[in-house]
């Protein structure tokens, strides 16, 4: 089976519903990468624009609330409601920053998606892609997508780059802090990360 090459203009997907996880991810990737390519010079001058791109193009398709609860795990039931709401709010901004950093390496590379698979009756699928960068090693990326029971639409809840899950990584990072210092410390660390400036990779910065 051959891979599907991301060559479709972003506008083609503008009217597509989120009822197909493969179409949805292709749409999101098209919109996000095409905008990063179009605004490359502006991003080079002001890397903070990456946050804007992630919030406007990617975040609408991310179930950040679900991701936040997955990161908290068992501690979600031990946190007061007001703190839980604060955590989810800050986690939203933290996720925007995380995706901006994770995708900041993109510089008009070729993106190929694996063929779509049957997903009828499923509520959780993984959409895989490869970012080809000339003579450099390919970058394997996977988007984990779930179907919301209320809206009946698909949303991203995790991204895996080179085998490393963003969600699992954050859950592991925060678990010991939650156990020893509580959720206030985690919120403090997330705010600190959000406040740090976005740095471009060498290729995009050249």
* 2 vs 187 pLDDT, higher one: 187
Tokens of 197: 């400036």
Q: What whole-number distance in Å separates Cα of residue 191 and Cα of residue 53?
A: 20
Residue 195's pLDDT is: 96
pTM of the model: 0.83
Residue 54's pLDDT is: 94
Q: What whole-number distance in Å separates Cα of residue 27 and Cα of residue 77?
A: 35
Q: What whole-number distance in Å separates Cα of residue 69 and Cα of residue 185?
A: 17
* 168 vs 14 pLDDT, higher one: 168
Name the nearest CA neighbour of 61 among 87, 113, 23.
23
Question: Is the pLDDT assigned to residue 136 strictly greater than 50?
Answer: yes
DSSP 54: I
Question: Is the pLDDT assigned to residue 193 strictly greater than 50?
Answer: yes
Tokens of 35: 């905008």
Q: What whole-number distance in Å separates Cα of residue 74 and Cα of residue 146?
A: 20
Tokens of 204: 């995009």
At 85, the pLDDT band (50, 70, 90 cuts) reads very high
Q: What whole-number distance in Å separates Cα of residue 29 and Cα of residue 54?
A: 11
DSSP 2: P
CB distance 49 to 75 below 8 Å: no
């Amino acid at each position: 089976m051959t891979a599907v090459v991301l060559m479709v203009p972003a506008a083609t997907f503008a009217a597509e519903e989120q009822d197909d996880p493969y179409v949805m991810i292709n749409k999101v990737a098209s919109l996000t990468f095409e905008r990063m390519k179009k605004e490359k010079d502006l991003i080079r001058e002001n890397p903070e624009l990456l946050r804007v791109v992630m919030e406007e193009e990617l975040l609408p398709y991310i179930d950040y609330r679900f991701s936040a609860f997955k990161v908290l795990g068992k501690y979600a039931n031990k946190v007061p409601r007001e703190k839980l709401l604060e955590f989810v709010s800050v986690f939203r901004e933290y996720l925007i920053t995380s995706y901006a950093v994770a995708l900041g390496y993109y510089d008009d590379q070729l993106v190929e998606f694996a063929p779509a698979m049957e997903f009828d009756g499923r509520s959780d699928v993984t959409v895989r892609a490869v970012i080809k960068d000339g003579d450099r090693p390919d970058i394997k990326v996977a988007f984990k997508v779930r179907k919301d029971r209320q809206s009946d639409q698909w949303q991203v809840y995790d991204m895996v780059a080179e085998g490393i899950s963003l969600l699992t990584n954050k859950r592991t990072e925060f678990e010991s802090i939650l156990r020893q210092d509580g959720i206030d410390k985690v919120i403090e660390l997330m705010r600190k990360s959000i406040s740090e400036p976005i740095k471009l990779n060498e290729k995009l910065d050249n």
